[in-house]
A and B are shown apart, each in its own frame.
Chain A
Amino acid sequence: NAGVTQTPKFRVLKTGQSMTLLCAQDMNHEYMYWYRQDPGMGLRLIHYSVGEGTTAKGEVPDGYNVSRLKKQNFLLGLESAAPSQTSVYFCASSYDRALNQPQHFGDGTRLSIL
């Protein structure tokens, strides 16, 4: 009964380093999303995917890339980390576009860029 699993849970990077955040869901969901949450800013959508092999930009995509090579996985990459990317990152998934299907969230990845 895992749901949405994010790895790692915590990470500290230096400016300019790269890393990949992994999101895995075991609910056979079509839609997957990456958000960032900053104090006073609520949730902001970075990228999303409506199915395997597809990705699209959200409202704050700059500095991030994503891939959805397998239906169950959605990867978020930071090619050259910047202090402005210090945040808590949440992955979510949804079964499909049907209105009664909610989003299911992971527990988050806390990322600090020094």
Chain B
Amino acid sequence: GDSVTQMEGPVTLSEEAFLTINCTYTATGYPSLFWYVQYPGEGLQLLLKATKADDKGSNKGFEATYRKETTSFHLEKGSVQVSDSAVYFCALKRDNYGQNFVFGPGTRLSVLP
């Protein structure tokens, strides 16, 4: 079945460090890909998305490129801030009627000052 795999956390970085959170997926067809962020005590918020191969999603300094050849959608940011500390979820949406979202397990990021 369809699935999303993320690098295990927690990831701990110093402020201004470069961030990469790996995400790979398995899916039939051509899904859309999403990154969500969850801050402590809150719900998931959409961070960025890409709907077809080679699309790059970007928001708030984060970016991710839909790589069909490697079935990946890695999240990157050039310089993280303490306020980026959160849990990050990679997800795919498939074209079917019904249960159409698949989420990864989440990766916790802690950024130290």
Contact = CB atoms under 8 A, between A and B. Distances in A.
B72 to A, nearest CB: 18
Contacts of B89: 42-43
Contacts, number: 59
B46 A42 contact: no
Contact of B32 (A42, A100, A108): A100
Interface string B76-113: 00000000000001010111111111011110000000
A50 B97 contact: yes
Contacts of B30: 99
Contact of B44 (A31, A50, A101, A105): A105
A102 B49 contact: yes
A107 B36 CA distance: 14
B51 interface: yes
Interface residues of B, number: 27
Interface string B1-34: 0000000000000000000000000000011101
B42 A107 contact: yes
A56 B101 CA distance: 14
Interface residues of A, number: 25
Contacts of B93: 99, 101-102
Q: Which of B93, B94, B106 has the most CB of A within 10 A?
A: B93
Contacts of A56: 98-99
B32 A97 contact: no
A3 B32 CA distance: 22
A102 B45 CA distance: 10
B98 A105 contact: no
Interface of A: 4, 31, 33, 41-43, 45, 48, 50, 56, 58, 90, 92, 94, 97, 99-108
12 contacts: A4-B43, A42-B105, A43-B106, A90-B44, A99-B30, A99-B31, A100-B51, A101-B93, A102-B34, A103-B101, A105-B36, A108-B42
